Amino acid sequence: MQRYFVPDNQQANDRIAIGGDDYHHIVRVMRMGKGSKLICVLSNGKTARCEIEQITSENVIARVVEWIEEQTELPIRVYIAHGLPKGDKLELVIQKGTELGAFAFLPFLAARSVVKWDAKKADKKIDRWKKIAKEAAEQAHRSQIPDIHAPLTIHELIEFAKTMDCRMVAYEEEAKRGNHQTLAAIFQQMKRGQSLLAVFGPEGGFSDEEVDLLRQHGFFSCSLGPRILRTETAPLYLLAAASYQFELQ
């Protein structure tokens, strides 16, 4: 059943109005009509199985058939901080990371980021990232859409990290040394409901200065196993490991 995220203010009693791009998708792409079934998820995570009652020139009016309980979110909140990579790699991380349960994405301007952030195109770029996250969250039957932050400096990232329960940086030198226990130790000490900020470098990795700075502010440097992963693969590995630790055991 197709799923759509709807702002809370679009609900009135047992009716939900769906407009904008979702209206187009329902009417033009999916070709739904009166009586068609769909799922609506409000901003607060409440989820309803609905039936289309009316289609106007601007909105699809759906009637709530029943409110349903779902448990599709990771038990811990994983924030993915990623040094801006080349091309569309961050889009891949956002799409697949959303499917795997990431709570939020925080791009940052790393010393070895080849891509230079264009402030003139910032709003358009961030809107695209948000659209990718929304569509991936719908596909994965999540009850919330991950937050997408505007790119930060590493100092702004460190300031943000003060609000987190746990902090880690994926550092390939730890893998080369054979130090593979730190990530498991972090997971074992975490409790459900806590937050983890996981930092990943761009294609060229981190500078020594960046790693030292992060360690000085309470980040654990972690290996992600004996193999060296691409920048777009590493966050997905972490999220899969978190799912195994907190959802499948």
pLDDT in tens, 136-195: 999 999 999 999 999 999 999 999 999 999 999 999 888 778 788 999 999 999 999 999
Cβ partners under 8 Å of residue 62, min gap 6: 15, 16, 17, 18, 38, 40, 50, 51, 52, 53
For the chain, which residues make up each domain, given as ranges?
3-68, 77-247
Query: 3-68: which CATH topology?
Result: Ribosomal Protein L25; Chain P (2.40.240)
Taken in order 152, 156, 158, 164, the sign of the CA dihedral is negative
Answer yes or no: are the C-beta atoms of 153 and 211 closer than 8 Å. no
The token duo for 105 is 């994405």
State residue 160's pLDDT score. Answer: 97
Q: Strand pairing of 15-18 and 11-12?
A: antiparallel
Domain 77-247 has CATH 3.30.980.10: no
Answer yes or no: are the C-beta atoms of 202 and 172 closer than 8 Å. no
Q: Which of 9-13, 56-60, 125-129 has the lowest mean pLDDT?
A: 9-13
Report the alpha-carbon distance of residue 80 to residue 93 in Å, rounded: 9
Looking at residue 209, its amino acid is: E
State residue 70's pLDDT score. Answer: 87
Position 60 pLDDT exceeds 90 = yes
**H helix or E strand, kind and range, residue 211:** helix 208-216
State residue 3's pLDDT score. Answer: 95
Alpha carbon dihedral 75, 77, 83, 86, in 10-degree steps, equals: 50
Confidence of residue 56 (pLDDT cuts 50, 70, 90): very high
Taken in order 164, 244, 228, 140, the sign of the CA dihedral is negative
Question: Mean per-residue pLDDT for 189-210?
Answer: 96
pTM > 0.85: yes or no:
yes
Alpha carbon dihedral 161, 167, 173, 178, in 10-degree steps, equals: 180
Question: Mean per-residue pLDDT for 57-64?
Answer: 96
Position 238 pLDDT exceeds 80 = yes
Confidence of residue 44 (pLDDT cuts 50, 70, 90): confident
Cα–Cα separations (whole angstroms), residue 127 to 33, 121, 147, 230: 29, 10, 11, 25
Provide the percentage of residues in the chain whose pLDDT is more than 90: 87
Cβ partners under 8 Å of residue 60, min gap 6: 17, 18, 19, 22, 23, 26, 27, 32, 52, 54
Q: How far is CA 103 from the centre of its chain?
A: 5
State residue 147's pLDDT score. Answer: 97
